[in-house]
């Protein structure tokens, strides 16, 4: 059995849980340790049940709760080289359990095979993950300015894909953000637009992905409806019917989402 549950997904904080059989793996810790513990409790779990914590990069909306979490949770913390070095400075309590790896490499623990892949984002090191166990797989690809071929290859065909759909380009361009921030978000090391997310979703679905969770939506520059409509229409043009051929949803920004389970 594989399941995915988002605990929060926005520019204010990101955290999700992937469970593969009896292994429970947290991806990012961008909300408080208390909220993480409360979310786990809703699933009948505790911090002690975590087998590992995967960090994508060191921006605060992905690690805000990590320092406190590491003091109360014995699970190893995996991060790409570069990110691991940054974590030692901003979350030193992770030090004894920090497990650095080379971005793009894979590793295994608790019966789960983890593949990492570099993502183009404005930090020295940023990665996404694909987790596989028992013939099922889940992939997480957020915080990327565009989708390189290597990322498409890494996520395509995953049973569940958590995919960034950060902004609607026109809403961002004519919105209240200062010019420099708009340029950062729109750049190749920024965040993924709805249109770029839709193109990636079509490729992933063509490879066999059957559930996509749109994530990391901007509160100011996007809405769940805009993201869903853009991706749904792109899928339809590709001959894929959302709701029939593929399940498409949006991760709640500031609260726990539903638990998606694959037997």
pLDDT, one tens digit per residue, over 156-174 is: 999 999 999 999 999 999 9
Q: Residue 192: how many CB atoms within 10 A of its CB?
A: 29
Q: Tell me the per-residue pLDDT of 106-139, one tens digit each, with 9 for 90 and over.
A: 999 999 999 999 999 999 999 999 999 999 999 9
pLDDT of residue 21: 87
Q: Tell me the per-residue pLDDT of 16-63, one tens digit each, with 9 for 90 and over.
A: 999 998 999 999 999 999 999 999 999 999 999 999 999 999 999 999
- The answer on pLDDT for 263 being more than 80 is no
Give alpha helix (H) positions in 91-223: 149-155, 169-173, 179-186, 194-206
Mean pLDDT, range 192-213, rounded to an integer: 96
| Helix 224-237, helix 194-206: angle, nearest 10 | 40
User: If you average pLDDT over every residue of the chain, what do you get?
Assistant: 96
The CA-atom distances, in angstroms, between 135 and each of 1, 151, 158, 263 are 9, 20, 10, 10
Q: Tell me the per-residue pLDDT of 218-256, one tens digit each, with 9 for 90 and over.
A: 999 999 999 999 999 999 999 999 989 999 999 999 999
Count of structural domains within the chain = 1
Q: Tell me the per-residue pLDDT of 134-148, one tens digit each, with 9 for 90 and over.
A: 999 999 999 999 999
> Domain of 225?
2-262
Distance CA 116, CA 127 (A): 6
Distance CA 118, CA 129 (A): 9
Q: Give residues with Cβ within 8 angstroms of 221, minimum separation 6.
A: 166, 167, 168, 171, 172, 175, 177, 185
Q: Tell me the per-residue pLDDT of 81-98, one tens digit each, with 9 for 90 and over.
A: 999 999 999 999 999 999
pLDDT of residue 9: 97
Q: Tokens for 252? A: 């709640």
pLDDT of residue 243: 87
What is the CATH number for 79?
Answer: 3.60.15.10
pLDDT of residue 262: 85
Distance CA 23, CA 207 (A): 26
């Amino acid at each position: 059995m594989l399941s995915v549950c988002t605990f929060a997904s926005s520019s204010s904080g990101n955290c999700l849980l992937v469970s593969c059989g009896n292994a429970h793996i947290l991806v990012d810790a961008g909300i408080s340790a208390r909220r993480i513990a409360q979310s786990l409790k809703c699933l009948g779990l505790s911090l002690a049940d975590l087998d590992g914590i995967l960090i994508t990069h060191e921006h605060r909306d992905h690690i805000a709760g990590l320092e406190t979490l590491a003091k109360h949770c014995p699970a190893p913390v995996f991060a790409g080289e570069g990110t691991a070095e940054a974590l030692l400075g901003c979350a030193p309590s992770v030090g004894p359990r920090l497990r650095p790896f080379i971005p793009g490499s894979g590793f295994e623990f608790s019966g789960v095979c983890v593949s990492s892949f570099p993502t183009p984002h404005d930090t020295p090191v940023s990665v996404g993950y694909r987790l596989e166990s028992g013939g099922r797989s889940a992939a997480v690809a957020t915080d990327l300015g565009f989708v390189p071929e290597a990322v498409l290859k890494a996520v395509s065909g995953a049973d569940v894909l958590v995919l960034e759909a950060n902004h609607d380009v026109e809403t961002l361009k004519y919105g209240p953000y200062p010019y420099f921030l708009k340029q950062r978000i729109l750049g190749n090391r920024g965040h993924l637009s709805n249109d770029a997310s839709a193109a990636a979703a079509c490729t992933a679905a063509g490879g066999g992905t059957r559930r996509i969770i749109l994530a990391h939506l901007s509160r100011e520059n996007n809405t769940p409806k805009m993201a869903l409509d853009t991706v749904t229409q792109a899928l339809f043009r590709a001959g894929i019917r959302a709701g029939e051929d593929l399940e498409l949803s949006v991760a709640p920004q500031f609260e726990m989402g539903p638990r998606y389970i694959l037997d």
